[in-house]
Amino acid sequence: MKGIQKMANDFSNTAKFSSPGVLVSGHYYKSYGYKTIRAEGTCDWLLTYTLKGEGCFEAGNINLSCHTGDIAILKPGTPHYYFTSKGEIWDFMWVHFVPRLDWNPWLQLPEVISGLIYIHLDNTGVKNRISKAFRRVIEDNRQFNTIHRELALSALEEIILLIYQKSNETNNQVRDPRIQEIVEYLYNHYDRQHTVSDLAERVCLSPSRLAHLFKEEVGQSIIDMLIKIRLKHAARLLQFTSHSVSEIAEECGFQSTSYFTQQFSSAYGMSPSVYRRKIANMGR
């Protein structure tokens, strides 16, 4: 086991030079006494999923206990210490990885402290699906060939998407049918220009009531959600078409190329042009 842990640390130290992929992964069943300390964090991302027992993460002034169904994600450069809690056996899966560029919006998850993300899964179906996907990550990552590396990355992408869905739960947790109608309308007509007044008229609400109810139900404003939808489509157009940045901005409903570039850079950490070049280089 020490050899596996050393390998994880070695991979972490070189992650900043790596292309997207699963670096190293595993399934541990650790009794009290197990611990890992990284005073400077790692260069990659670390995701753990607790199956049984209890483990604990310390980062900053936070002490976070993980039980069945708990996901903990450590971002690069986050100093941390994790261990099996006293009197417990911690049964958990883990993976060190470098994310694909288009995962960036999905990894914008709530942090309990800067660099430490925590999500609790309470849906049995989702937990089972993540467990199965995690086993595929581990199994495929043991095979050192291109196809299995891609399979491992695809299984990890499924996990990330399920976590993102749980964190947002926009479509699944909207209780008011009027708000659900607006959500679906925005997804289907993201390229059009919308005003709160026009949307409110569709569902027979006042603009102020719609704005308040939408934020209450969805957890974000109408404009913020619309921008996120547009940016997701823009990222795919940048990857799979040769359309210019200005054409993509227009196709996705942005009236200004500069505003599109500003929003895209904020969400993805780079300009649309840089994103396109990096995606193209990764495919070579």
Q: For 139-169, how does the pLDDT look when each residue is reduced to its tens digit (9 = 90+)?
A: 999 988 889 989 999 999 999 999 988 887 6
Whether residue 225 is found in the same domain as residue 92: no
Q: Rounded to whole angstroms, how far apart are CA atoms 240 and 231?
A: 14
Mean pLDDT of 223-231: 92
Beta bridge pairs of residue 91: 29, 52
- Nearest residue to 229 via CA among 263, 265, 279, 280: 263
Whether residue 7 is found in the same domain as residue 139: yes
Confidence of residue 134 (pLDDT cuts 50, 70, 90): very high
Confidence of residue 116 (pLDDT cuts 50, 70, 90): very high
Whether residue 237 is found in the same domain as residue 126: no
DSSP 151: H
CATH number at residue 273: 1.10.10.60
Looking at 122, 149, 168, the residue that finishes a domain is: 168
Reading the block at residue 55, the tokens are 């483990």
Radius of gyration, CA atoms only, the chain: 21
Whether residue 157 is found in the same domain as residue 180: no
Reading across the β-sheet that carries 62-66, which strands appear in turn?
35-38, 80-84, 55-59, 62-66
Which pLDDT score, from 0 to 100, does residue 13 have? 46
Beta bridge pairs of residue 90: 30
Whether residue 116 is found in the same domain as residue 55: yes
Whether residue 27 is found in the same domain as residue 114: yes
Summary mean pLDDT of the chain: 87
Coil vs helix vs strand at 216: helix
Terminus-to-terminus CA distance in the chain, angstroms? 35
CB neighbours (10 Å) of residue 204? 9
CATH number at residue 109: 2.60.120.280
What are the C-alpha distances in Å from 27 to residues 90, 230, 241? 10, 38, 40
* Structural domain containing residue 15: 2-168
Confidence of residue 110 (pLDDT cuts 50, 70, 90): confident
CB neighbours (10 Å) of residue 259? 12
CB neighbours (10 Å) of residue 113? 15
Reading the block at residue 131, the tokens are 């467990």
Whether residue 129 is found in the same domain as residue 198: no
The 10s digit of each residue's pLDDT in 191-218 is 999 999 999 999 999 999 999 999 988 8
Looking at 139, 168, 197, the residue that finishes a domain is: 168
Looking at 103, 134, 168, the residue that finishes a domain is: 168
Those residues whose C-beta lies under 8 Å from the C-beta of residue 98, and which sit 6 or more positions away, are 15, 18, 19, 20, 21, 23, 44, 45
Whether residue 140 is found in the same domain as residue 178: no
Whether residue 54 is found in the same domain as residue 142: yes
Confidence of residue 219 (pLDDT cuts 50, 70, 90): confident
The 10s digit of each residue's pLDDT in 23-77 is 899 999 999 999 999 999 999 999 999 999 999 999 888 889 999 999 999 999 9
Q: Is the dihedral of CA 97, 103, 220, 166 positive or negative?
A: negative
User: Is residue 25 within 8 Å of 94, Cβ to Cβ?
Assistant: yes
